[in-house]
Structures are given as structure tokens and as C-alpha cells.
């Protein structure tokens, strides 16, 4: 019997040059509420070395860099990394930008004070990948991980469920906070805070903190 082929997901292979430029060119006003959400969460995270993975076009990297965090940025897609290089430079920030597969980070244990992982987790199609990714984030973060996820107890998640029932294929996955928290707890982290974008949207951002050894 051969090995089981690795499960992949659209977000891993989708960010070609064209798609990457399209994502980065989203109207700035669509970014405002999402960046406010990140800013709210980081009010509880002290200044220090932060890894933004996946960084996409670098909007979170720029926000946190301007707030005084010492940023590094990583993504699987070279077109996305190139946009982050351009965006950070245009904002006067000197940020190392490197290739990473979030499923197997090349960084040493506890090598960043905090990690931010925004608008990624909801792309992961199964528990095995979710567990693996959270394990990597917890291994590399010394103290905090701020990770977004799609919360199923929201109107937007209900709407997605109805669209699925009508036969629509959606490649996003809603995960209960209890499930997300359980992935962190086995890695020695506890839930510190949970923020929602608004009353309807399923985008939530949870901050996890390492339980002292």
C-alpha cells in the first residue's frame, strides 16, 4: 500500500501573482475593521519580536510595525512575500520577509515573543491540519499567539451553512472556540481573550497565552 497523499487546501496553492495582487488591492476601507480587530487584540500583547504568518500582502505586519512591534513576516507564496516587501518598504519599515510553510515552520522553539496568524485557520479542511498548525505556532511562540478563526455561532456561519445546503461549494471552515482552545491547551497555552469583528461576521480573533512552566 502506498502512502496516503497529503491533503492540501486552496489557500496554499491559490496565491499566484494575479490572485496575490487582487487580494492586496482590496479597497482599503475593507481592511479597516479587520485591522482594528488586530489592534484591539494586541492591546493585550506586550511589545517584542512578532512573527506574522501567513503575512499575505503585509497589512498586519505594517500595522504592528507602526505600533512598535519588531516584525518578521513569512508566507508560502512568493508573490505575496514580494507584496509584503514592497508594502513594508513603502511604510518605512525594515522587515525580514521569508518563505515558510506554516505546517512545518523552520524557526527555533520559542524564537518569537508572539505570533499573529490572521485570516488563515479557516482554510484548513480537517482536524489533523488544524492540530499540526497550532502545534507549530505554539512551538515557535514564547508567550502569545493571536489567531483568527471562523466561529460557527454567528449569522454569517449560518448563512454559509444554508448556501452549502443549496449545493454551493465553500472552501472555508467554521470551528467552535472550544475546539480551537483544545488544540492550544495540549500545547501548554490557555485562552486569554476572544474578540469578534462585529455581531454578524464569523471572523473572530483569539489570544492564547503560554501557561508558565
Q: Which residues here bind ligand SAM, judged by CB under 6 A?
A: 11-12, 15, 54-57, 59-60, 75-77, 80, 100-103, 118-120
Q: Smallest distance, Å, CB 39 to ligand SAM?
A: 13
Which CB atom, from 103 or from 179, has the smaller least distance to ligand SAM? 103
Q: Smallest distance, Å, CB 69 to ligand SAM?
A: 15
| Residue in the block written with cell 489557500 | 11
- Contact by Cβ (8 Å): 117, 105: no
Q: Smallest distance, Å, CB 213 to ligand SAM?
A: 28
The helix (run of H) or strand (run of E) holding residue 180 is helix 177-185
Q: Smallest distance, Å, CB 172 to ligand SAM?
A: 10
Which CB atom, from 118 or from 189, has the smaller least distance to ligand SAM? 118
Q: Which residue is nearest to ligand SAM (CB)?
A: 56
* Lookup: cell for 8: 492540501
Which CB atom, from 11 or from 137, has the smaller least distance to ligand SAM? 11
Burial class from Cβ neighbours inside 10 Å (0-12, 13-18, 19+) for residue 166 reads exposed
Q: Smallest distance, Å, CB 57 to ligand SAM?
A: 6
User: Which of 113, 114, 131, 119 is CA-nearest to residue 57?
Assistant: 119
What is the C-alpha separation between 113 and 49, in angstroms, rounded?
Answer: 5
Which CB atom, from 94 or from 104, has the smaller least distance to ligand SAM? 104
Which CB atom, from 60 or from 115, has the smaller least distance to ligand SAM? 60
Q: List Cα–Cα distances, 92 to 25, 55, 62, 86, 133, in angstroms.
A: 19, 17, 9, 10, 31
Amino acid at each position: 500500500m502506498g502512502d496516503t497523499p497529503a491533503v492540501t487546501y486552496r489557500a496554499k496553492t491559490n496565491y499566484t501573482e494575479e490572485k496575490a495582487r487582487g487580494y492586496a488591492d482590496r479597497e482599503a476601507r475593507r481592511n479597516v475593521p479587520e485591522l482594528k480587530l488586530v489592534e484591539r487584540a494586541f492591546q493585550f500583547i506586550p511589545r517584542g519580536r512578532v512573527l506574522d504568518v501567513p503575512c499575505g500582502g503585509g497589512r498586519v505586519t505594517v500595522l504592528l510595525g507602526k505600533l512598535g512591534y519588531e516584525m518578521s513576516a513569512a508566507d508560502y507564496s512568493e508573490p505575496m512575500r514580494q507584496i509584503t516587501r514592497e508594502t513594508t518598504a513603502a511604510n518605512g519599515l525594515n522587515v525580514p520577509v521569508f518563505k515558510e510553510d506554516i505546517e512545518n515552520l523552520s524557526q527555533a522553539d520559542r524564537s518569537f515573543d508572539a505570533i499573529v496568524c490572521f485570516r488563515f485557520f479557516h482554510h484548513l479542511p480537517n482536524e489533523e491540519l488544524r492540530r499540526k498548525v497550532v502545534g507549530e505556532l505554539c512551538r515557535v511562540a514564547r508567550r502569545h499567539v493571536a489567531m483568527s478563526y471562523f466561529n460557527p455561532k454567528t449569522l454569517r456561519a449560518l448563512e454559509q451553512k444554508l448556501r452549502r445546503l443549496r449545493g454551493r461549494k465553500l472552501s472555508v471552515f467554521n470551528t467552535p472556540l472550544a475546539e480551537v482552545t483544545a488544540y492550544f491547551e495540549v500545547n501548554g497555552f490557555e485562552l486569554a481573550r476572544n474578540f469578534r469583528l462585529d455581531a454578524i461576521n464569523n471572523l473572530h480573533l483569539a489570544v492564547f497565552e503560554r501557561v508558565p512552566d
